[in-house]
Amino acid sequence: MAKVFVMDHPLVQHKVTMLRDKNTSTKDFRELAEEISLLMAYEVTRDLPLEDVEVETPICKTVAKTVAGRSLGIVPILRAGLGMVNGMLKLVPNAKVGHIGLYRDPVTLKPVEYYCKLPADATDRTLIVVDPMLATGGSAIAAIGFLKARGCTNIKFCCLIAAPQGLKALQEAHPDVDIFIAALDETLNDHAYIVPGLGDAGDRLFGTK
């Protein structure tokens, strides 16, 4: 089973509390989501391999570490996942960005992919799928399934708030995918919203309600 990492950093917890507050403005919500994503990128990239390079300081030549290995790709699930991209890019500016869009078919209730554009070399990259909310897990499970169907094998998932139900479902569906969460909440309500959560992440990010 892949690892689950719940952020315990005080700054992350503080910022998540501000994100939850229904009185937080759209502007502040967007900025907070970006800041938390930057801090999460630090954890998501903790296992990046390093290699030795020679560098010349003003004092002498030395051998020092540089990031090696697979390049990164960030894949937001549209639309709310977009709110996590810029924060991650601040820490890993050379990452490429892919996009995946899903909607739930009103009859079958199954997720349908309506958009997918990935870096040309996506299968050679470590992909970090980002979405602020992991509620039932349906969106994340489907998005990761669509990436795997395209041959991507090295995938991590990063969200701001998760419900236990979505976490369990995602772990069972994709046991190879490490999951990074800023806050693990109590449950889901009858409308599949996370409790206490923060409401509708997309609407709060883009001011659509």
Q: Which does 193 bind (CB under 5 to 8 A by kind): ligand URA, ligand PRP, none?
A: ligand URA
Q: Select the span of 11-19, 22-30, 131-139, 149-157 touching ligand PRP (CB under 6 A).
A: 131-139
Q: Does 197 bind ligand PRP (CB under 6 A)?
A: no
Nearer of residues 5 and 193 to ligand URA, judged by Cβ = 193
Q: Does 135 bind ligand URA (CB under 6 A)?
A: yes
Nearer of residues 111 and 202 to ligand URA, judged by Cβ = 202
Give 133's strand partners.
161
200 is catalytic: yes
104 is catalytic: yes
Helix (H/G/I), strand (E/B), else coil: 84: helix
CB atoms within 10 A of CB 206: 16
| Contact present, 126 and 156 (Cβ < 8 Å) | yes
Give me the catalytic one of 104, 150, 187, 208: 104
CA distances from 24 to 15, 17, 18, 40, 198 (A): 11, 10, 7, 21, 10
Q: Select the span of 45-53, 88-96, 135-143, 145-153 touching ligand PRP (CB under 6 A).
A: 135-143
Q: Does 194 bind ligand URA (CB under 6 A)?
A: yes
Helix (H/G/I), strand (E/B), else coil: 4: strand
Q: Does 76 bind ligand PRP (CB under 6 A)?
A: no
Q: Which residues are catalytic?
A: 104, 108, 200, 203
